[in-house]
Amino acid sequence: MDNKLSVKDLNVEFTTIKGKAKILRDVSFELKEHEMLGFAGESGCGKTMTSMSIIRLIPPPGKITRGSIIFEEKDLAQNSPREMVDIRGKKISIIFQEPLTALNPCYRVSWQLEEILKLHFPDMDKNERRKRTINILKNVGLSDIKKVLNSYPHQLSGGMRQRIVIAMAIICDPQIMIADEPTTALDVTIQAEILSLIKEIQEERKQLSVIFISHDINLLAERCDRIMIMYLGEILEVADSDDIINKPIHPYTRGLIGSTPRVSLSRKQFDFIKGELPSAYTDIEGCSFYNRCTEKDESCRQQKPELIDIGDGGKQHLVRCFKKK
């Protein structure tokens, strides 16, 4: 089966006065057709930067120094800004954390949606645009659509705004939707609704694959098909959600899951990962998790482990660790 997106050896660097910060180090992964892939990791791991690289919105002074991002047989890393404009919002869309700042406060909802259609489908007539706009708002579970269309963003609740942002992301029927912490700024009960909505959309649209970024691994495990664990710009583990949660292999993954509290009727000791995250400016020869790992030995410091498939029974389970062969 062809992959929707194929990233190979992606390297992104930030050059500042402090030196060169390696934000992404040899990141390689595939986004399959019709799947929801979760990016998990803590701050600075590179999950947001990976998605920014895909749509080529890396903030300066960062840039892609190596690698390819193959989408629809073209390398997005080589695309010109003009070519990317055709893709963003239309073929690959993104939703961000804070819906209030994602929407233009000066314009009504109807304008925000129709602008996207005008940009990507310039031949579409006014009636068709209206129809599509109304339809998409129904798709994202909004009622009282006429009222919503006429409202300004600040007149709507956080949950409604995020639904509109999602509507804007799917109105052109994209191939890939990236959701970067879309529920972090929302209340718990709204979060559950938005998560269900995203999952529903992904399941309904056969041509859509979703990349879901979150620091909350429980959240990812509930809805994603596969999860990718990132740390210091590298991918450490990739597997089906169930396997990541129930059979985590990499010491970091285990530490991450162990320190994420879960609602339960029994009390668990709080696990934690000792040590501190090294600076992105340091060049690490061996395993990037070395200074915090409790299962290491000398070879872990000298050589960098490769991402190897140790899955059995046809299920892929990639791990970057010498100890887990």
Partner 1 sequence: MKQKLIEVKNLKVYFKVKENIFSRVKDVHAVDDVSFTIYKGEKVGLVGESGCGKTTLGRALMGLTGITDGKIYYEGDDVSWLIRKRRLNDLYKKAQFIFQDPYSSLNPRFKIFTILERPLRNFYRMGKEERRAKIIKTAISVGLDEESLEKFPHEFSGGQRQRVVVARALISDPLFLIADEPTSSLDVSVQAKILKLLSDTISRMDLSLLFISHNLAVINQFCDKVIVMYLGKIVEIAGWSELFKNPLHYYTQALINAVPLKDVSVKKIDNVRLEGPLPSVIDPPKGCRLNTRCSLATEFCFEKEPPLLEVKKDHFVACHLYDKK
Q: What does the binding site for partner 1 look like in residue numbers (CB under 8 A)?
A: 42-43, 157-158, 187-189, 191-192, 195, 215-219, 221-223, 245, 255-256, 259-268, 270-273, 276-277
Paired with 213 in beta bridges are 39, 180
Q: How far apart are CA 49 and CA 61, in angstroms?
A: 13
Residue closer to partner 1 by CB (options 66, 215) is 215
Residue closer to partner 1 by CB (options 76, 229) is 229
Q: State in angstroms the smallest separation of the CB of 180 from partner 1.
A: 16
Residue closer to partner 1 by CB (options 149, 227) is 227
Pull the structure tokens for residue 21. 């910060």
Residue closer to partner 1 by CB (options 168, 219) is 219
Q: Who's near 242: CB < 8 A, 6+ residues apart?
A: 221
Residue closer to partner 1 by CB (options 47, 132) is 47
Q: Which letter, b or e, does each residue of 273-309 get, where b requires 16 or more Cβ atoms within 10 Å of its Cβ?
A: beeebeebeeebebbbbbebbeebeeebeeebbebee
Q: How far apart are CA 247 and CA 253, in angstroms?
A: 10
Q: State in angstroms the smallest separation of the CB of 277 from partner 1.
A: 8
Q: State in angstroms the smallest separation of the CB of 206 from partner 1.
A: 25
CA atoms within 13 A on the CB side of 244: 32
Q: State in angstroms the smallest separation of the CB of 189 from partner 1.
A: 5
Residue closer to partner 1 by CB (options 80, 266) is 266
Measured over the CA atoms of residue 97, residue 135, residue 198 and residue 169, the dihedral's sign is negative
Residue closer to partner 1 by CB (options 128, 271) is 271
**Cα of 105 vs its chain's centroid, Å:** 26
Pull the structure tokens for residue 67. 């690698």
Q: State in angstroms the smallest separation of the CB of 78 from partner 1.
A: 34
Collapsing DSSP to helix, strand or coil, 87 comes out as helix
Q: State in angstroms the smallest separation of the CB of 33 from partner 1.
A: 25
Q: State in angstroms the smallest separation of the CB of 59 from partner 1.
A: 20
* 20: nearest Cα among 305, 233, 228, 236: 233
